[in-house]
Amino acid sequence: MTDVFRETAAQPRTEAVPLSHLSLELGHLYMEDLADGRKGLRRHFERVRPWADAARADLAARTTGGRPRMSTCFLVDDYFSRFSTPADLLPLVLEEAERAGLVIDYLARESACAVADKVPLAQAVAGRLVESPPPGSYGARPPVSESGWLANGQRSPAGRSPQAMRRAEPWQPPSETNARRHSVFVDVELWDEDKDGNRTWSCPFLAAVWQLARLGLLRNEGEAVLRPRDASLGELPVEWDELPPLVRLNADADPFSAYRTCSVLPARFLSVEHAVRVILDQTDVDTGAVAQISRRTDNERQPMPGSVVERVSYVFYPEP
Amino acid sequence: MIVFAASDKGGTGRSVTSANLAYQRALAGDDVVYVDFDFGSPTAPAVFDVPDMQRGIENGGLHSYLEGTAPEPARIDVWRRTEHPVLRRTPIGAGRLVLLPGDASGGEFVTDQDSVHRCVDLLLRLNAEFDLILVDLSAGRSYAMDMVLEATAGRELQQVVSRWVVFHRWTRQHVIAAAGLVFAERGLLEGGAERGHDKDALRSVIRFVRAAVPDPDSALWSHLSPAQFAWMQMYDEKLRRLAAELGVGDSVLLGTVPLEPILQWREQLITEEEVVATQIANKETLDAMEAIARRLTEDTHWGQP
Amino acid sequence: MTAPPDTAPTVLACGEVRTCVLPSRRPLDSDAAAQLLQLRADERVLVSKRPNLYVLSPQTLTGVDCRLPTANGAKVRVVGTVAVRAALTEGRILQSSAYFRTPAQGPDRRRPWGHYLIRPGVLEPLGRLPESAAAQGVLAGGRPGELDLGLIADGVLTPLVRHPLLDQRAPLKSRHTRLRWAALPADPGQGPAIEEFTLAEDDLRTVRLRVPAGTEPAAIAALCEDFALHDWLLTTVVRLLDGRLGPVEGPDALTALRPAVEHLMHLWMPRARGDRTLRALWDVLEHDPGFTRQWDNLVQRVRDRLALLNALPKQPVAQPARAGEKT
């Protein structure tokens, strides 16, 4: 029997997005990276090149049937500090990439991970955090006071003043949930707020949003977000806000989002990316989006890790 | 409606009187909950004659709830659980009478933002369910008082009618103490204002109850010598003037509970039975309890036309 | 929405529904209701206007790692997520609902959290699950430290109740009711069945069901939310009539009856929506004890009393003011 009467507002739906096999991040540019001009960029791309080749070779070896689809991307920070202009900086980045034999397919602004096209992505992801329960969690509400932080285990009990005539509990160490015997406890600051309640998202949190975008797992009310827009080098704006959140620089590029991601980053990003994994491991991504990807990888006979965090990989190259 | 029962000193009969007020309101048909925020001395179950819990309940009482170790505070249905022979027969037409006890071994504790949060949630929940919430607070300037002042200053409870009843005995020291609790530095008004209450608005919802007041005209004092009688009357008048000077005079008086011998021996609910059948309690006491209970909701007694 | 890849068939689904009146003087319209139930910024609140106004929040998750209550004391540790959602019917009755399903068997040790997150609403046992004992255990309620679905449902309800949209001035005093349910698989070829519907303690109801393999727990939850809503209506109106109204006459009775007439009478609409196969289970309750029969009877009683009150000569009856009323 089929439904005769339907209400569209009462039916959930999820828009599908095109997907590559791999999204390769060629870099993450902060103001300090430009301290010695284009030389820093040149060094970076030179170091990235061999790993990019390796990633491509690895993908080709593992892709069964059909052409391997891979897109590259590059992220520029315009959230924590503003420097240069798109019109000045982007040609420089592209030149140096090309010089190293690399093609940047997509370029994103870091602030797009906070709000893209008026959609508050970071806010939405924050609403999807589901904390990994330490053993003994039977459903009690976690205390409100620690909001804005996310740990990979149980914190040391707070030093609450005991009731009158009762002794204070002695100190207890924090513990990592599901640790292998010994804990590596991490507590990640997701945001801070000024006295007016304006929130600044932390770098790991925005990086986690960035990973979810690259994995094709972000939706807003079922609709795709952060759609890439084409931009030509001749018409780049002088204000970062006027640059689309995600720009497609290569007209022939494979889709931006992919089943898996790989990021080639200097080794100093290791702690940030550890924090990203702590966040991703506790993010309840859009169910419809996950299901779409599962169906497609099943059809393509691509083996896929079950959890989201395992779809993310890194190459950390040593500096200098 | 929420009624907070406060007192500056112990031994004012605050707990036993407010328990009686709760009982009277339930008899009149209201659904009533009695919330024991007397954290240092959680003894409300004894007043309601609830067995096995003469001193609060083992775990899962209000201490545990507010400290975040129990998800919901335990509830005791007084009509069902009491061993008081009269109370066990739920009177026809009576509302519910529910007790939220503290933990048996609970003590005073420092309240924090989380406990204020939980306090708000609790009061909202109770307000949806009960006609009258009677909250018995620890004596003096206490963490309990801080917590409820902060809780009621928040947006959530703004639309819920709250009233304060301050209990004191009818002695010079107690009158001064009661005035101090409300008007002095770090008192109820100032503490409330600090937490965001409007001082005048708060002041307008505070009334006083004089407890254990000896009435020279009552039979209890019939053996007094004329000199003693005269002294009592003179001193009573003097106290009245003092009370008026200190802002706790007749204009903010909700009621007077006469000195009741059985309450001097045992904190308990005064029922019709004790007055009529066994005649161990005085009718005046019962009348006073009934009158104060009624006035809790009569706006004319709260400066409203 | 399609369920994510699954590991094993469900052998047990359980849930708990909390039902209460929205603490607001006026019922919320669909826009305000959608705003209230926007539990996630990026997911749509579902709004349905036929045959009545029904607004459903996105599903959220709560992680647990604890023992499951069992009737025989067997120790079963489960890890995973409990699904929670909230619904508002006719802008007046607020419900929160927590539920999960579980396969017969799980790995011997806890897996990385991401494994559980892509199986929303699934609790995996460590080892084997004694499903019948667990079903009975959940219905009976656990001991301290064991899975507490009511608490999880409350975790969603409590912040909703303090939402700025609500003025905390509900038209009537009423209790929260709790309805716990457990569904075991029906024998192959058999349709769904209600094995037991119990009015337990004051505010607790328990329902034991059998459902065909592959029945979505969300659909069972929806059925039980529908049960809970109508049971709440019965419970609340019975209390209005039998509680303090027993001996009370005159204008006071009118004051107490009014909210029932203005805010509750029109809410009765069993099986307004939901899975067709499961909706048929309403027939069982309509036959015995006869939910709608009792409701019709209550409505008639309210109407009769109102008619009587109108017919009687108006005479002022001295009654103490009610604590709940602001004059």
What is the C-alpha to C-alpha distance for residues A215 and A35, in angstroms, rounded to an integer?
A: 32
Confidence check: pLDDT of B221 > 80:
no
* B156 touching chain C per CB within 8 A: yes
What is the C-alpha to C-alpha distance for residues B75 and B72, in angstroms, rounded to an integer?
A: 9
By Cβ distance, the residue of B92, B125, B298 closest to C247 is B92
Please report the ipTM that was assigned to this predicted complex. Answer: 0.89
Judge contact between C270 and C230, C-beta under 8 A. yes
Question: Is the Cβ pair C322, B159 closer than 8 Å?
Answer: no
pLDDT digits over B253-278, tens only? 999 999 888 888 888 888 888 888 88
Q: Which chains have 3+ CB pairs within 8 A of B? A: A, C
Q: Kindly list the structural domains of chain B, giving each domain's residue range(s) and its CATH number in brackets, ordered by start.
A: 2-299 (3.40.50.300)
What is the C-alpha to C-alpha distance for residues B134 and B163, in angstroms, rounded to an integer?
A: 10
pLDDT digits over C128-178, tens only? 999 999 999 999 998 888 999 999 999 999 999 999 999 999 999 999 999
Count of other CB atoms within 10 angstroms of residue B270: 26
Distance from CA of A204 to the nearest CA of B (A): 28
Report which of B76, B81, B82, B79 is spatially closest to residue B61, judged by C-alpha positions: B76
C247 pLDDT tier (thresholds 50, 70, 90): very low
Backbone angles phi, psi at C240, to 5 degrees: -60, -40
Sign of the torsion angle spanned by Cα atoms C184, C186, C188, C189: negative
The β-bridge partners of A22 are A70, A260
Q: Rounded to an integer, what is the distance from CA C3 to the centroid of its chain?
A: 23
Residues 71-110 of B with CB under 8 A from A: 71, 106-110
What is the C-alpha to C-alpha distance for residues C164 and C32, in angstroms, rounded to an integer?
A: 11
SS3 C314: coil
pLDDT digits over B158-182, tens only? 999 999 999 999 999 999 999 999 9
Contacts of residue C85, Cβ cutoff 8 Å, sequence gap at least 6: C39, C56, C57, C58, C59, C60, C96, C97, C156, C221
Residue C177 is encoded by which pair of tokens? 């009711």
What is the C-alpha to C-alpha distance for residues C175 and B98, in angstroms, rounded to an integer?
A: 13
What are the chain C neighbours of A9 within 8 Å (beta carbons)? 44, 46-49
Judge contact between C276 and A1, C-beta under 8 A. yes
pLDDT digits over B1-43, tens only? 999 999 988 888 899 999 999 999 999 889 999 999 998 887 8
Residue C229 is encoded by which pair of tokens? 């809503």
What is the C-alpha to C-alpha distance for residues C292 and C237, in angstroms, rounded to an integer?
A: 13
Judge contact between B283 and B220, C-beta under 8 A. no
Q: Could you please report the per-residue DSSP string of C32-99?
A: HHHHHT--STTSPPEEE-SSS-EEEPPPEEEEEEEEPP-TT----EEEEEEEEEEEEETTTEEEEEEE
Residue B93's Cβ-count burial label (10 Å; 0-12, 13-18, 19+) is middle
Q: Tell me the domain boundaries of chain A.
A: 16-127+195-317
Count of other CB atoms within 10 angstroms of residue C242: 11
Report which of A204, A170, A172 is spatially closest to residue A189, judged by C-alpha positions: A204
Strand-pair category, B253-258 with A20-29: unpaired
pTM: 0.91
Confidence check: pLDDT of C53 > 90:
yes
pLDDT digits over B130-159, tens only? 999 999 999 998 999 999 999 999 999 999
pLDDT digits over B53-62, tens only? 655 567 789 9
Tell me the average pLDDT of chain C: 89
pLDDT of residue B52: 64
Backbone region of residue C6 per phi and psi (left: phi > 0; alpha: psi in -120 to 50; beta: other values): beta
Mean pLDDT of C211-215: 93
pLDDT of residue A144: 42
pLDDT of residue A142: 62
Between the two ends of chain A, the Cα-to-Cα distance in Å is 67
SS3 A166: coil
pLDDT of residue B116: 94
pLDDT digits over C301-323, tens only? 988 888 887 776 655 544 545 55
The helix (H) or strand (E) run that includes residue A86 is helix A86-99
What are the chain C neighbours of A121 within 8 Å (beta carbons)? 42
What is the C-alpha to C-alpha distance for residues C20 and C161, in angstroms, rounded to an integer?
A: 10
What is the C-alpha to C-alpha distance for residues B166 and B302, in angstroms, rounded to an integer?
A: 14
pLDDT of residue B305: 62
What is the C-alpha to C-alpha distance for residues A279 and A202, in angstroms, rounded to an integer?
A: 12
Residue type at A274 in one-letter notation: H
Contacts of residue B102, Cβ cutoff 8 Å, sequence gap at least 6: B36, B37, B38, B39, B42, B44, B56, B57, B61, B62, B63
Judge contact between C81 and C117, C-beta under 8 A. yes
Q: Spell B13-46 as b/e; 16+ CB within 10 A means b.
A: bbbbbbbbbbbbbbbbbbbbbbbbbbbbbbbbbb
By Cβ distance, the residue of B40, B109, B114 closest to A145 is B114
Question: How many residues would you count in chain A?
Answer: 320
What is the C-alpha to C-alpha distance for residues B243 and A142, in angstroms, rounded to an integer?
A: 48
C191 pLDDT tier (thresholds 50, 70, 90): very high
What is the C-alpha to C-alpha distance for residues C275 and C219, in angstroms, rounded to an integer?
A: 6
What is the C-alpha to C-alpha distance for residues C131 and C184, in angstroms, rounded to an integer?
A: 8
Q: What are the residue ranges in chain A where pLDDT is below 70?
A: 1-4, 8-10, 141-146, 158-162, 165
What is the C-alpha to C-alpha distance for residues B73 and B96, in angstroms, rounded to an integer?
A: 17
Residue A195 is encoded by which pair of tokens? 């006295």
By Cβ distance, the residue of C39, C44, C82 closest to A12 is C44
pLDDT of residue C5: 47
* B304 touching chain A per CB within 8 A: no
pLDDT digits over B174-217, tens only? 999 999 999 998 899 999 999 999 999 999 999 999 998 887 77
SS3 C113: helix
What are the chain B neighbours of A141 within 8 Å (beta carbons)? 71
Residue type at B106 in one-letter notation: G
Sign of the torsion angle spanned by Cα atoms A35, A38, A43, A48: positive
Judge contact between A139 and C62, C-beta under 8 A. yes
Distance from CA of A177 to the nearest CA of B (A): 21
What are the chain B neighbours of A165 within 8 Å (beta carbons)? 107
Mean pLDDT of C232-238: 94
pLDDT of residue B113: 86
By Cβ distance, the residue of A119, A132, A141 closest to C63 is A132
What is the C-alpha to C-alpha distance for residues B50 and B46, in angstroms, rounded to an integer?
A: 6
Distance from CA of B71 to the nearest CA of A (A): 6
The helix (H) or strand (E) run that includes residue B7 is strand B2-7
Question: Is the Cβ pair C244, B155 closer than 8 Å?
Answer: no
Distance from CA of C66 to the nearest CA of A (A): 5
SS3 A229: strand
C250-259 and C291-311 are packed helices; what angle lies between their axes, rounded to 10 degrees? 140
Q: Could you please report the per-residue DSSP string of A140-163?
A: PPPPGGGTTEEESEEPPPP-PPPP
Distances (CA, A) of B42 to A274, B96, B240, C55: 49, 21, 33, 43
Residues 130-149 of C with CB under 8 A from B: 144, 148
pLDDT of residue C327: 41
Report which of B52, B36, B35, B58 is spatially closest to residue B105, judged by C-alpha positions: B58
pLDDT digits over C85-144, tens only? 999 999 999 999 999 999 999 999 999 999 999 899 999 999 999 999 999 999 999 888
Q: What is the largest CA-CA distance in chain A?
A: 75
How many Cα atoms sit within 13 Å of A294 on the Cβ side? 17
What is the C-alpha to C-alpha distance for residues B33 and B50, in angstroms, rounded to an integer?
A: 15
Backbone angles phi, psi at B299, to 5 degrees: -60, -30
